[in-house]
Chain A
Amino acid sequence: MSSPEPLEERAPEGPKTPPAKDSMTPRIGVFVCHCGSNIAGTVDVSKVREAAEKVPGVVVAKENKYTCSDLGQEEIIKAVKENDVNRVVVAACSPRMHEPTFRSCIQEAGLNPYMLQMVNVREQCSWVHSKEKDRATEKAVDLVRMGIAKAEKLVPLEAREVPVEQSSLVIGGGVAGIQAALDLAQMGFKVFVVESEPSIGGRMAQLDKTFPTGDCAICILAPKMVELARHPNITLLSYSEVEDVSGFIGNYSVKVRRKARYVVEDKCVGCGVCADACPVKVDNKFDMGFGKRKAIYVPFPQAVPLKYTIDKDNCIHFKTGKCKACLKACANEAIDHEMEDEMVELKVGTIICATGFDIYVPMKRGVYKYWEYQNVITGLELERLLNASGPTGGHLIRPSDGESPKRVAFIQCVGSRNKKIGNDYCSRVCCMYSMKNAQIIKEHEPDTEIAVYYNDIRAFGKGFEELYHRVREEYGIEFIRGRPAKLSEDSETNSITIRAEETLLNKITEREFDLIVLSTGLQPSEGSKRIGKILSLSLSPDGFFQEAHPKLRPVDTAVDGIYLAGCAQGPKDIPDSVAQAKAAAASAASIMAGKKVKIEPLTASINEELCIGCGLCVEMCPYGAPEIVETDNGTKAKVVEALCHGCGTCVAACPQKAITANQFTDEQIASEIVSALGGMEGTNGKARKPAKKAEEA
């Protein structure tokens, strides 16, 4: 981790409120929440309040129906002011839920926000002990006593602020990345877009038309691609890879490798003379291997940037050194075979991860014979065959003989909803893209007979059900409910017979087709695994990136300042990807527009006198927060607070006990333990049970 911006020195403790008030003898206010019947249904809240009242140091104890409500908060403020309370214990739900709420509440009452102790009597008590009401109440009392014991030892803390870099990095130049970048640029932030392919556009650029409206994909995408390339606030780094990211929210530094494309971008005008001259022909990856391209190429005619790239693996010059046909052909002297990869360093405040998806590749020896029968193709291959700028100019053919197929079958759920291969999820787009493609085939060749072998049809989006209706009503597409069991090829005609149970008929059927299209699902892209490691993002069970909260923080990640957009987070159609991209851009902007970001003070701090600079903490920290610095007093460890998550690993590891975790100090934890064991240390020695033993121990 590189050194971040220097932080403000630690402010003296508790400057916002009169210091005298916080450091006075503990005057504790306890507020026990009913949470409707969530807590009160199991725990006898009044008993808990009564028990809390009796604990020395507690000056006021109250119960509320909903402590988090306006009314509940007002009551806290009132009680704090009336009783001169300087520490607050709230016994309610998980601190993840409402700790911030109550912090700002007691701040309003004039206390330091960190003089709050949450006691979780919902998730950790009432919800898990709903069948043992008496014992649940007993446990709640114990938990509250522990909370009170810790509250006595609380010290005021101050949140720190760090400046936020006014720029953003967008990883991935598909439709989600493009939209996020455009939105941020429009708001006035600098945006760097890193795309690993020679052109932006992503998967959407490969599609023919889009469901359910039938808009031409590239026709609606290309203007956005061009706008992105021309936007003064956007720097496009195509054919580049993110190599390393370090830093923290507001202050990320990013290393990007600009792969050598052997064509000088500034000089290339995209005329294509070099490609005409190039003698090498290889399969075009963009056309899913159906068409051919040269070793010097642009992936598709509408590519942005329209700059040629030399495919090093197939170029004769790089293999034998004998060919320089492109060099001779180029009038602008744009070609440079000596070009090398270049490293670029960027400073950004936020990152949007839009690394997209890969198409599921059918198994080598699978039932659907994708690798054995020529006339079995995938959905994306069909898109290229239907595309007017595709290898066949939009004319659908059978790969085996180039004839146009008269009978076409779609097989749904290939690589989705399948526990055997570990893809349990629904890919969400296959039902609709198959219907859309079936419609296009019918429009080209009205005589074609089309059947869709499906399991469940998911037509949940806007206009989807209408498309489902239209393809049956107008185009007579047949829907067969059953998962094909066996495909067999006629060796002469290369037509394929599908055996399947038509489950609604309860009969096994066999039908012959000329072309089989496997509606392959979506899966996390290879590149996104690498990026996930670099950004330390966690994955959900399906392998896509995990959002911070499935409902309330759907575009955030667990790492502050990093957001998700598009299929990197899970399978999505184009409108959803664009919507999420806009949400991610807005979230990133909300951080950057604030200019400064607050860093939680619940971090580790190092006592320099005790520290011997052994560096064990540096080794142990999963976030790279501590670093070794030379000071006047010798080699010492120092914690970069913005990186610290307050996990406590270094605290436990430090052989000198030189590290303290704020709000989880040894003293605070010990007081909780003593209280749990029955002793009430610090409360005039009064004890619930014989406490001496505990204290002696």
Chain B
Amino acid sequence: MGEVEKTFISGLREKLVEDRVIDESQLEPDFAKEIVKHGGKDVMTCLQCGNCTGVCPISLKIDYKTRSIIKFCQFGLKKFTLETRWVCATCYRCYEHCPADINPAEVMIALRHIAIKEGVIPPFIKMAASNLLKYGQSVKPDPEIERVRRELELVDMPSRDKEYAKVVREINLLVRSTGYDKLIGIESEVKT
């Protein structure tokens, strides 16, 4: 059913949308166990007190509520959890305050592992990975930053060093042999 408009008896026009019901077909059974397998703690013990959201520096600024993500995990709503989890800064403040001794930050990391495996990979992750292959660091060297570093009398970035090409080769080798390139989808960029 598409979105249609309907006029009710009183003349009130309301948009009708598809049934907003979450049925079982949308639930992933044993999602909590999958999270445990990927290094998170058991989300089923969460009391849903909301302390994690309250202390989260990200939750204040954008529509991201630590507690509700944990609730999605408890419920098995996998598809709700795979896309926005990269905003977590893993500052671990939620872990510090959690009375149920769950570690929401590590649950977020586990969700990232799951997302990557499912092929839900945001572009910036791919970008960082190919930077790693090219420059040996996930951030692309920026002449402006290097100028500022010199001004502040900081040592040069290691990537400026000629010898560093060897390190980059080793990184490429590691990426290939661990299968990381296939996982992220950057096989073509690896030079060995």
Could you tell me which A residues sit within 8 Å of B by CB distance? 367, 413, 417-420, 455-456, 481-486, 499-503, 506, 508
Q: How far is the CA of A420 from the CA of B51 in the complex (A)?
A: 13
Q: How far is the CA of A12 from the CA of B53 in the complex (A)?
A: 75
Counting CB contacts under 8 A, is B131 at the interface?
A: no
- Find out whether the CB atom of B49 lies under 8 angstroms from the CB atom of A482: yes
- Find out whether the CB atom of B55 lies under 8 angstroms from the CB atom of A418: no
Counting CB contacts under 8 A, is B125 at the interface?
A: no
Assuming A483-B54, A501-B67, A508-B59, is B101 touching A420 (CB within 8 A)?
A: yes
Majority secondary structure, A binding face: loop
Partner of A483, one of B49, B59, B60, B65: B49
Counting CB contacts under 8 A, is B139 at the interface?
A: no
Within 8 Å CB of A503, what residues of B? 48-50, 53, 67
Partner of A486, one of B48, B55, B59: B55
- Which of B53, B59, B101 has the most chain A CB atoms inside 10 A of its CB? B53
- Find out whether the CB atom of B54 lies under 8 angstroms from the CB atom of A485: yes
- Find out whether the CB atom of A420 lies under 8 angstroms from the CB atom of B48: no
Partner of B101, one of A367, A419, A486: A419
Partner of B50, one of A367, A418, A456, A481: A481
- Find out whether the CB atom of A483 lies under 8 angstroms from the CB atom of B51: yes
- Find out whether the CB atom of A485 lies under 8 angstroms from the CB atom of B68: no
Q: How far is the CA of A503 from the CA of B49 in the complex (A)?
A: 7
Within 8 Å CB of A456, what residues of B? 47
Counting CB contacts under 8 A, is B107 at the interface?
A: no
- Find out whether the CB atom of B98 lies under 8 angstroms from the CB atom of A420: yes
Q: Mark out the residues of chain B between 20 and 58 whose CB falls within 8 Å of any chain A CB in the assembled complex.
A: 47-51, 53-55
- Find out whether the CB atom of B54 lies under 8 angstroms from the CB atom of A500: yes
Within 8 Å CB of A367, what residues of B? 97
Assuming A456-B47, A506-B68, A508-B59, is B53 touching A501 (CB within 8 A)?
A: yes
In addition to A417-B47, A419-B101, A485-B51, 12 A-B residue pairs with Cβ atoms within 8 Å of each other are: A420-B98, A455-B47, A455-B49, A456-B47, A482-B50, A484-B54, A486-B54, A501-B51, A501-B54, A503-B49, A503-B53, A506-B65
Q: How far is the CA of A194 from the CA of B27 in the complex (A)?
A: 60
Within 8 Å CB of B60, what residues of A? 508
- Find out whether the CB atom of A485 lies under 8 angstroms from the CB atom of B99: no
Q: How far is the CB of A418 from chain B (nearest CB, A)?
A: 4
- Find out whether the CB atom of A501 lies under 8 angstroms from the CB atom of B65: yes
Closest to B53 in A: A501
- Find out whether the CB atom of A482 lies under 8 angstroms from the CB atom of B100: no
Report 10 cross-chain contacts, Cβ distance below 8 Å, ordered by A residue: A419-B100, A419-B101, A455-B48, A484-B51, A501-B50, A501-B51, A501-B67, A502-B50, A503-B48, A508-B59
Q: How far is the CB of A454 from chain B (nearest CB, A)?
A: 9
Q: How far is the CB of B66 from chain A (nearest CB, A)?
A: 9
Within 8 Å CB of A418, what residues of B? 99
Q: How far is the CB of A456 from chain B (nearest CB, A)?
A: 7
Within 8 Å CB of A500, what residues of B? 50, 54
Within 8 Å CB of A501, what residues of B? 50-51, 53-54, 59, 65, 67
Within 8 Å CB of A502, what residues of B? 50
Q: How far is the CA of A455 from the CA of B48 in the complex (A)?
A: 8
- Find out whether the CB atom of B99 lies under 8 angstroms from the CB atom of A483: yes
Closest to A482 in B: B50
Q: How far is the CB of B72 from chain A (nearest CB, A)?
A: 12
Majority secondary structure, B binding face: loop
Within 8 Å CB of B47, what residues of A? 417, 455-456
Q: How far is the CA of A483 from the CA of B59 in the complex (A)?
A: 15
Within 8 Å CB of B65, what residues of A? 501, 506
| Those 5 A-B pairs whose CB atoms lie nearest each other, nearest first | A485-B54, A501-B50, A483-B49, A419-B101, A501-B53
Q: How far is the CA of A420 from the CA of B59 in the complex (A)?
A: 23
Within 8 Å CB of B100, what residues of A? 419
Q: How large is the interface on B (under 10, 10 to 19, 20 to 34, 35 or more residues)?
A: 10 to 19
- Find out whether the CB atom of A420 lies under 8 angstroms from the CB atom of B99: yes
Q: How far is the CA of A420 from the CA of B47 in the complex (A)?
A: 13
Q: How far is the CA of A486 from the CA of B59 in the complex (A)?
A: 14
Q: How far is the CA of A508 from the CA of B55 in the complex (A)?
A: 10
Q: Mark B71-102, 1 if CB is under 8 A from A, else 0.
A: 00000000000000000000000000111110
Q: How far is the CA of A485 from the CA of B54 in the complex (A)?
A: 5
Q: How far is the CA of A506 from the CA of B68 in the complex (A)?
A: 8
Closest to A423 in B: B99
Q: How far is the CB of A366 from chain B (nearest CB, A)?
A: 10
Q: How far is the CA of A500 from the CA of B65 in the complex (A)?
A: 12
Closest to A485 in B: B54
Q: How far is the CB of A368 from chain B (nearest CB, A)?
A: 11
Q: How far is the CA of A413 from the CA of B97 in the complex (A)?
A: 13
Closest to B100 in A: A419
- Find out whether the CB atom of B50 lies under 8 angstroms from the CB atom of A419: no
- Find out whether the CB atom of A419 lies under 8 angstroms from the CB atom of B99: yes
Within 8 Å CB of B67, what residues of A? 501, 503
Q: Mark out the residues of chain B between 91 and 134 whose CB falls within 8 Å of any chain A CB in the assembled complex.
A: 97-101
Q: How far is the CA of A508 from the CA of B59 in the complex (A)?
A: 8
- Which of A419, A420, A501 has the most chain B CB atoms inside 10 A of its CB? A501
Assuming A483-B49, A501-B67, is B54 touching A508 (CB within 8 A)?
A: yes
Within 8 Å CB of A499, what residues of B? 54
Closest to A416 in B: B99
Q: How far is the CA of A420 from the CA of B102 in the complex (A)?
A: 10
Assuming A455-B47, A456-B47, A506-B65, is B101 touching A485 (CB within 8 A)?
A: no
Q: How far is the CB of A541 from chain B (nearest CB, A)?
A: 15
Assuming A456-B47, A501-B67, is B53 touching A485 (CB within 8 A)?
A: yes
Closest to B50 in A: A501
Q: How far is the CB of A488 from chain B (nearest CB, A)?
A: 12
Q: How far is the CA of A418 from the CA of B51 in the complex (A)?
A: 12
Q: How far is the CB of B85 from chain A (nearest CB, A)?
A: 17
Within 8 Å CB of A484, what residues of B? 51, 54
- Which of B51, B60, B68, B97 has the most chain A CB atoms inside 10 A of its CB? B51
Within 8 Å CB of B101, what residues of A? 419-420
Q: How far is the CA of A417 from the CA of B67 in the complex (A)?
A: 17
Q: How far is the CB of B106 from chain A (nearest CB, A)?
A: 16
Q: How far is the CA of A500 from the CA of B97 in the complex (A)?
A: 12
Within 8 Å CB of B55, what residues of A? 485-486
Within 8 Å CB of B68, what residues of A? 506
Closest to B65 in A: A506
Q: How far is the CA of A500 from the CA of B60 in the complex (A)?
A: 11
Within 8 Å CB of A417, what residues of B? 47, 99
Q: How far is the CB of B41 from chain A (nearest CB, A)?
A: 11
Partner of A508, one of B49, B53, B98, B99: B53
Q: How far is the CA of A503 from the CA of B66 in the complex (A)?
A: 11
Closest to B93 in A: A485
Q: How far is the CA of A482 from the CA of B50 in the complex (A)?
A: 5
Within 8 Å CB of A483, what residues of B? 49-51, 54, 99
- Find out whether the CB atom of A485 lies under 8 angstroms from the CB atom of B97: yes
Closest to A481 in B: B50
Q: How far is the CB of A478 from chain B (nearest CB, A)?
A: 16
Q: How far is the CA of A485 from the CA of B52 in the complex (A)?
A: 7
Within 8 Å CB of A482, what residues of B? 49-51, 54
Within 8 Å CB of B54, what residues of A? 482-486, 499-501, 508
Q: How far is the CA of A76 from the CA of B126 in the complex (A)?
A: 78
Q: How far is the CA of A506 from the CA of B72 in the complex (A)?
A: 13
Q: How far is the CB of A210 from chain B (nearest CB, A)?
A: 28
Closest to A507 in B: B65
Q: How far is the CA of A383 from the CA of B145 in the complex (A)?
A: 61
Q: How far is the CA of A419 from the CA of B48 in the complex (A)?
A: 14
Q: Mark B2-34, 1 if CB is under 8 A from A, else 0.
A: 000000000000000000000000000000000
Q: How far is the CA of A486 from the CA of B55 in the complex (A)?
A: 7
Q: How far is the CA of A193 from the CA of B54 in the complex (A)?
A: 49
Closest to B60 in A: A508
Q: How far is the CB of B2 from chain A (nearest CB, A)?
A: 28
Within 8 Å CB of A508, what residues of B? 53-54, 59-60
